Amino acid sequence: MAFDILPGEAVITRVYCKNYDQIAVNVLHYVREPGVGPAVTSVDYAGVVNSVLSSLYAAVMPTSAEYRGVGVQLLPVGGITPVEYYPAPNPGIVAGESLPKQVSGVIALRSTVGGRSGRGRVYVGFPSEADNESAGKPSVSYVQRLQALADALNSPLTVPDINGTGQVFSLHVYSRLLAFLADVTQVVARDRWGTQRRRGDFGKINTSPV
Q: Any idea what DSSP says for residue 128?
A: B
pLDDT digits (tens, 9 = 90+) for 124-172: 999 999 999 989 999 999 999 999 999 999 999 999 999 999 999 999 9
The structural domains of the chain, with segments of one domain joined by +, span 4-197
- Report whether 202 contacts 166 (CB < 8 A): no
The answer to which of 46-60, 97-111, 165-179, 195-209 has the lowest mean pLDDT is 195-209
Q: Given this model, what pLDDT does residue 208 score?
A: 81
Which residue type does 27 have? V
> Which pTM value belongs to this model?
0.95
Is residue 209 predicted with pLDDT exceeding 70?
Answer: yes
Q: Given this model, what pLDDT does residue 196 score?
A: 92
Q: Given this model, what pLDDT does residue 205 score?
A: 72
pLDDT digits (tens, 9 = 90+) for 44-88: 999 999 999 999 999 999 999 999 999 999 998 666 788 999 999
- Higher per-residue confidence, 118 vs 125: 125
Q: Is 197 exposed, middle or buried (0-12, 13-18, 19+ CB in 10 A)?
A: exposed
